[in-house]
Amino acid sequence: MFLVLFFQTFAAFTSLASETDSQRESLVIGLLPEMNIFKQRERFELLAPYLSKHLGIEVELKMLSYGNIIEKFKEEEIDAAFLGSFTGALAISQLGVVPLVRPINMDNTSTYQGYIFARKDSNITSVADMKGKSLALVEKTTAGFVFPIAWLKRHGVDDINTYFNEQFISGSHDRTISLVLNGKANVGAAKSTIYENMRKWQPRIDRELIILANSPKVPSNTFCVNKKFDQQYREQLKDLLLNLRGDPGGREVLKKLGAKRFVETGRDQYQPVFDLAKEAGIDLKKYAFQSP
Amino acid sequence: MRKYIIISFALIFIFAGIGSGVSLYHLLNTTANLRNLISLHEIGDVRQALSFNFQKIQSYTFSSQAYLTENIDEIINNAKEVNQTLIRCNECHHKPEIEAELKGVEAMVQDYQEQLSYLITTVTEGELRREQQGIVADQSNLILSKVQDMVNRAASTLNIETSNAMNKIEGSYIILGLTLIFTFLAAQVVAHFLTSRITKPVNKLLNAANRITQGELGYQIDYKGLGEFQALISTFNKMSASLARQEDKIRNTMKKLHQLSHMSLPLHTALNTSIIINYLHKTMNDLIVAEYVGIMLPEENDEQYVLHLFDTSAKNRESSHITFSQNEIKGVFDDHNGEPLLDNSMQNKNWPFAEKPEGVEFNNLLLTWMVIENNVTGALIAINKNEGGFNEEDSEIVGILANNMNVALDNIGLFNNLQLQMVEQKKTQRQLLEAEKLTALGALAGGIAHDFNNILCGMIGYVSLLKRNHNPEDKDFKMLDTIENAGFRAADLTKQLLTFSRQEALDHRPIEVNPHIENIAKLLEKTISKLITFRLELKESLPLLLSNPAQLEQIVMNLCVNARDAMPNGGEILVQSKQVHVDQTFCGQHSEAKPGDYIKLTVTDQGEGIDQDILPKIFDPFFTTKDFGKGTGLGLAMVYGIVKSHKGFIIVASSADKGTTFSVYLPLAGFIEDEEIRPAVSDEMMQAGILIVDDEELVASMLAEHLQNHGCHTFHAGNGEEALDILQLHKNEIDVVILDLNMPVMDGKTAYGKMIELKPDIKVLVASAYNMNNSVDDILTKGANGFIQKPYRIDNIVLKIRQVLAK
């Protein structure tokens, strides 16, 4: 009888110790430089302390590049990240990361498109006009990379390296728009949301640029977590982000992010990205970034 | 004054306030400039912070894109520090030109960050990247240059501003100093002004207070000035006047009390109430001027009170009298709870008693009760005070007078009691003196009688023996018989003396009183004048009295003979007997009396009475008012002695022409059985051995010869010791001891105790001339077999010896 009691007590202590080990002490969230990294970082300033307060653990933000996002996930230097549609599709395909939620923008959209644009004074209005010109892309993004390649392929350009005289690979959409606007490149591709945002404080964009094509809508930056991420925290994170509107602090976070709320997001909503990648000839499972 | 004080202090406050305001203004200006100066100093720190962070960023600017990407968070933090530095700087500066410059710097930093972000996110290597690196570096240098320019200008401004600030601080010192000096001077002026205004009336008050303290009550201050002091001094003047009035009132009251004290003195020496009543007229009129004054006092029986009312305007001092019942007085007293009646609006109403004084028209009334231990003993009354009616002071003054009168009345009662007690005391002292005198006389008489009896005893005894040797028809026999009778008459005389001195030894036994009185009455009726009648009032069934019949009859006989002699012209002699109880009250009135039950014998005559001067001497032996040869002067002395031997007492009441009453009180003892009468022994039994113990050789030899003639064998001892020796030697031969008591060496009483020890069955016959200190009674009580009084007939002693032998 005493032995039974002893083993039961020991088992209870063992169970408690196991639960204690699984307690998480910190959460590192990666951010992508989809725009000016200083502004991007500023947008998420309130989110980290909010989550830390409600989860009871330290939450840290880490600015990443499109080039090292998959590596950081693999090396578990980050636990979660706001991923663009292409990086999201890549991470889902290669690492099995789990999409949880994505923001609804202030204009009630939760998707974006890819724009292909050119300077008006370049007189480029078709694919043929682009031949021998310079092209500015955004590295590893749906809007700034996958879509223009797919679109060009659809219009008969199989190899952009030979079709264009010069290529600029930018790390951010605003940089790409800036390159075209400042005449460094003739044609560019970038994310519609960034483009539209820049229009508001850069009147030159409307005056000097023309949009030549746009892609189907793909999910905007989605909050994804590592597949090894604790189910408990995963659900807590999901609930917190979905219910930000119901809390004054949460509403401040949404305002700073420039979003109305978050909606649940699943893997199936990445289908347009998978399709575009296929059309662009990109094998997501094997694709590797060249840049750091 | 308060207005002046407020205005003065307000002026001081205004001066101080203006000075402080100016100083504060300068101080604020100076400190504001100091803030600017400090800000200007901080711009150097801003430049250093910006320079540091820019250099940090610059160190990444020309590194590889991979290195940049890896340290992107560090770069962001440095950029953030730059932003924070500018924000802090902007918070301190509010000059428009500096704010504009700072905003310009902020815009430059924004551009710089945008270019830096482009550089960080530029993946493409080559000319574009290098160009971007140059743009970033140029912009950072431009910002630092701009900031340095601002620092230089700030340093220049700093010098100028510091100099200005120092000048302003010095100016502030001067203004502050001037303000303090001016405020101090203003305060001095105000203080001087206020002090002069305040001290003047205060000094006047102080002076006035000192004068009042020295007794100048009513002193008035002459001051006209500020409102509060004017009011204060006015109040002070009123207080001074009030004090003067109060002092006058107190003086008047003290004067009245002083008068009252003096006037009360004669009251305390008054010996009767009439003095007090007459004294009231003057006393009250001096204290209260009223039309009528009166005093109400109880009559002797306390059932009525009499009001003695005086008309103060009348020349004679005769008073009218009104009598009230005690119940009426007590009723009024209780209705007013013993409080004085003070009524100034009477108008013939409210007179508290049923009967009004005749001819008095009431305007006002003051009645003060005289009270001892809550019992009303009288009252003082004043009617119609002339000026303004009675007041509380009158009530208190009359109250004090009433108390004094009360004390005086009480003193009179005490004085009367004292007088009575002194009379009683004198009477008692006289009685004690008489008693002591009689005791001394008794002792003297007893001593003489003892010696006489011894002499007579021997003389009579031998005469009796001689008579036996002669024929009664002989001439010598008749002569011897005459000698013997003369001896017995002498013995009677000594017996009377012994009776007076209560040293006669007689047997007391329970007897009935009345038969003996009747015997004496019958005897006297036959012998006294027919002008005198006897009347007996004898109470029947009286208890037995422990006495001697002869003595009882002698009392009645002597008193009746004295009564007879007191009524030479005839009258009635009343003899009474009854049982009485004497209590403590009776004993208090008669010093010789003791409480208890007594047989009271009273003999009353209707004679001339006994003169009070000789009354104390009537019981003295040999004192007589009778003609020479008609009285021995021992009759009443014997009565006194007999009564005293019974432990009783005599009371004599006599008044001129009414007669005299002798009351004899004889105490009743408990019931005592009659002594058993034992038969005498026959002549044949006189063959006895007899020890004669007597220091008188004459008596002893006579007795021995006589007893030997009767066949007895005699021994003789001269004192107790010899008797004990002879008894020791002839214990078996001696049957009877004839024992004298008063002997040298060892007296008879002591010897008896030792004889009993030697021979318990010894018969003892006590033969003594007198009963000194009741020694006969004591020895008989202890067991002696008989007693015979000296001198005795020799036949009687033989009879006594026979009776003793028979016991």
pLDDT tens-digit profile of A153-200? 999 998 888 999 988 888 788 889 999 999 989 999 999 988 998 898
CB B770 within 8 A of CB B446: yes
Nearest chain A residue (CA) to B70: A64
* Residues of chain B positioned with their CB less than 8 A from the CB of A169: 123-124
CB-nearest to A36 from B66, B117, B124 is B117
Assess whether pLDDT exceeds 50 at residue A261.
Answer: yes
Label residue B538 by pLDDT band (50, 70, 90): very high
d(CA B800, CA B765): 8
Q: How far is A117 from chain B (nearest CA, A)?
A: 19
Residue B420, pLDDT score: 85
The region, left, alpha or beta by phi > 0 then psi within -120 to 50, assigned to residue B358 is: beta
Q: How many helices (H) and strands (E) does chain B have?
A: 19, 18
Half-sphere exposure in the Cβ direction for B136 (13 Å, CA): 26
Q: Test A37 with B69 for CB contact under 8 angstroms.
A: no
pLDDT of B289-347, one tens digit each?
A: 888 889 888 887 678 889 988 888 887 777 888 889 888 888 999 888 888 988 888 77
Phi, psi of A168 (to 5 degrees): -115, 125
Assess whether pLDDT exceeds 90 at residue A212.
Answer: yes
Residue B94, pLDDT score: 62
Q: How far apart are the first and last CA of chain A?
A: 64
Q: If you average pLDDT over every residue of chain B, what do you get?
A: 81
Q: Test B76 with A37 for CB contact under 8 angstroms.
A: yes
Q: How far is B155 from chain A (nearest CA, A)?
A: 33
Residue B45, pLDDT score: 75
* Residues of chain A positioned with their CB less than 8 A from the CB of B87: none
**pTM score over 0.80:** no
Residue A46, pLDDT score: 92
d(CA B629, CA B626): 8
Residue A181, pLDDT score: 94
* Residues of chain A positioned with their CB less than 8 A from the CB of B65: 291-292
Mutate to test the interface with B, among A174, A175, A186 (most CBs of B within 10 A): A175
CB-nearest to B121 from A41, A167, A175 is A175
Label residue B125 by pLDDT band (50, 70, 90): low
Which residue type occupies B105?
Answer: V
Assess whether pLDDT exceeds 50 at residue A16.
Answer: no
Label residue B363 by pLDDT band (50, 70, 90): confident
pLDDT of A112-134, one tens digit each?
A: 899 999 999 988 999 999 999 99
**Angle at which helices B96-121 and B127-213 cross, to 10°:** 140
Q: Which residues of B touch A (CB under 8 A)?
A: 65-66, 69-70, 72-73, 76, 79-80, 113-114, 116-118, 120-124, 128
Q: Test B120 with A37 for CB contact under 8 angstroms.
A: yes
pLDDT of B598-616, one tens digit each?
A: 999 999 999 888 888 888 7
Q: Which residues of A touch B (CB under 8 A)?
A: 33, 36-38, 41, 62-65, 67-68, 139, 167-172, 174-175, 178-179, 184, 291-292
Q: Test B128 with A33 for CB contact under 8 angstroms.
A: no
Token pair listed for B752:
């008896």
Q: How far is B84 from chain A (nearest CA, A)?
A: 13
- Among B508, B501, B507, CA closest to B669: B508
- Range name among A10-24, A188-202, B262-276 with the lowest pLDDT average: A10-24
pLDDT of B475-530, one tens digit each?
A: 888 888 888 888 887 877 777 666 666 556 556 678 888 988 988 888 888 777 78
Residue A267 β-bridge partners: none
Nearest chain B residue (CA) to A66: B121
Q: Test A38 with B117 for CB contact under 8 angstroms.
A: yes
Q: Test A291 with B118 for CB contact under 8 angstroms.
A: no
Nearest chain A residue (CA) to B73: A63
Nearest chain B residue (CA) to A166: B124
Nearest chain B residue (CA) to A41: B76
DSSP label at residue B773: G
Phi, psi of B306 (to 5 degrees): -120, 130
**Angle at which helices A248-257 and A47-55 cross, to 10°:** 150
pLDDT of B380-408, one tens digit each?
A: 999 988 777 888 888 888 888 888 888 88
Label residue A8 by pLDDT band (50, 70, 90): very low
Assess whether pLDDT exceeds 50 at residue A61.
Answer: yes
Q: Test B118 with A178 for CB contact under 8 angstroms.
A: yes
Residue B111, pLDDT score: 86
Residue B63, pLDDT score: 79
Q: Please give the C-alpha separations between residue B443 and each of A155, B454, B490, B627, B641, in angstroms, as whole numbers.
A: 190, 17, 19, 27, 12
Residue A31 β-bridge partners: A63, A82
Assess whether pLDDT exceeds 60 at residue A21.
Answer: no
* Residues of chain B positioned with their CB less than 8 A from the CB of A184: 128
d(CA B793, CA A93): 185
Q: Test B122 with A139 for CB contact under 8 angstroms.
A: no
CB-nearest to B69 from A41, A67, A184 is A67
CB-nearest to A63 from B65, B76, B114 is B76
Q: How far is B45 from chain A (nearest CA, A)?
A: 24
Label residue A12 by pLDDT band (50, 70, 90): very low
In three-state form (DSSP H/G/I as H, E/B as E, the rest C), the secondary structure along chain A is CHHHHHHHHHHHHHHHHHHHHCCCCEEEEEECCCCCHHHHHHHCCCHHHHHHHHHCCEEEEEECCCCCHHHHHHCCCCCEEEECHHHHHHHHHHHCCEEEEEEEECCCCCEECEEEEEEHHHCCCCHHHHCCCEEEEECCCHHHHHHHHHHHHHCCCCCHHHHCCEEEEECCHHHHHHHHHCCCCCEEEEEHHHHHHHHHHCHHHHHHEEEEEECCCEECCEEEECCCCCHHHHHHHHHHHHCHHHCHHHHHHHHHHCEEEEEECCHHHHHHHHHHHHHHCCCCCCCCCCCC
More confident residue, A238 or B68: A238
Average pLDDT on B654-678 reads 70
Mutate to test the interface with A, among B64, B70, B87, B121 (most CBs of A within 10 A): B121
* Residues of chain B positioned with their CB less than 8 A from the CB of A36: 113-114, 117
Label residue A4 by pLDDT band (50, 70, 90): very low
Which residue type occupies B186?
Answer: A
Q: Test B69 with A38 for CB contact under 8 angstroms.
A: no
Residue A18, pLDDT score: 36
CB B646 within 8 A of CB B666: yes
Secondary structure of residue B50 in the 3-state scheme: helix
d(CA B169, CA A23): 64
CB-nearest to A172 from B66, B79, B117 is B117
Nearest chain B residue (CA) to A37: B117
Q: Test A292 with B66 for CB contact under 8 angstroms.
A: yes
Mutate to test the interface with A, among B64, B117, B128 (most CBs of A within 10 A): B117
Nearest chain B residue (CA) to A45: B80
Assess whether pLDDT exceeds 60 at residue B683.
Answer: no
pLDDT of B205-219, one tens digit each?
A: 888 889 888 888 888
CB-nearest to A169 from B66, B69, B124 is B124
pLDDT of B625-644, one tens digit each?
A: 766 556 667 788 888 888 88
Q: Test A37 with B114 for CB contact under 8 angstroms.
A: no
Q: How far is B11 from chain A (nearest CA, A)?
A: 58
Residue B693, pLDDT score: 92
Residue B501, pLDDT score: 61
Q: How far is A169 from chain B (nearest CA, A)?
A: 5
